[in-house]
Chain A
Amino acid sequence: EPEVTQTPSHQVTQMGQEVILRCVPISNHLYFYWYRQILGQKVEFLVSFYNNEISEKSEIFDDQFSVERPDGSNFTLKIRSTKLEDSAMYFCASSGGGGEQETQYFGPGTRLLVL
């Protein structure tokens, strides 16, 4: 069964450093997303991406964040200068296969710890 994959599973970084989180969405999907979940809190939407551009973003997704689809398979989230409060689980999701355009399937997540 096709699934969303994410790398790395864990990332530890120093405050102020740049991190890139990587995702491979399900191959025939057209819509890609990033969400985050701070420990003990709800899952929060960051950004959606379609047709090589951002289609929607939340207030969390400020100038420190960027997304890119560098090739036909990868989808990345870059945090330019990490802050302590960026520590969270980051989930990539994808949707858009056939008639279930809205159903989003999540990857296993990347646990980011900013020290």
Chain B
Amino acid sequence: QKEVEQNSGPLSVPEGAIASLNCTYSDRVSQSFFWYRQYSGKSPELIMSIYSNGDKEDGRFTAQLNKASQYVSLLIRDSQPSDSATYLCAAINNAGNMLTFGGGTRLMVKP
């Protein structure tokens, strides 16, 4: 079983809409989660981290963590064409500080 799973997409939303990106994880990874954005050919760029159950907001981004369901999500409000990228969910391994990445969800925001 994969440790971090994401729908590969593409997820297509109109400009100004809310984009909802989801991620599930196995119980072998720890409780620290990260969302990274990756433009084609570029490196992962940190968007947010979340450690506790509930919501964490930063500007247009809200991360949500539900440990009971082993589920973490990222909401992007007022989506812009510049948000079009692949969004990577990652978790810190219980054994240390190795990041385990999901395969990423490609988001397309259409003007």
Whole-angstrom distance between the alpha carbons of A105 and B45 in the complex?
Answer: 7
B45 touching A106 by the CB < 8 A rule?
yes
Taking a contact as CB atoms closer than 8 A, the residue among B34, B42, B98, B102 that contacts A103 in the complex is B34
Taking a contact as CB atoms closer than 8 A, the residue among B49, B88, B98, B102 that contacts A45 in the complex is B98
A35 touching B99 by the CB < 8 A rule?
yes
Interface size class of B (residues with CB under 8 A): 20 to 34
B101 at the interface (CB under 8 A from A): yes
- What total of chain A residues lie within 8 Å of the partner, measured CB to CB? 26
B68 at the interface (CB under 8 A from A): no
A28 at the interface (CB under 8 A from B): no
Binding site for A on B (CB under 8 A): 32, 34, 36, 42-46, 49, 88, 90, 92-93, 95-104
Write 8 A-B pairs (CB below 8 A) sorted by A numbering.
Answer: A31-B97, A42-B101, A43-B44, A45-B99, A45-B100, A100-B49, A104-B46, A109-B42
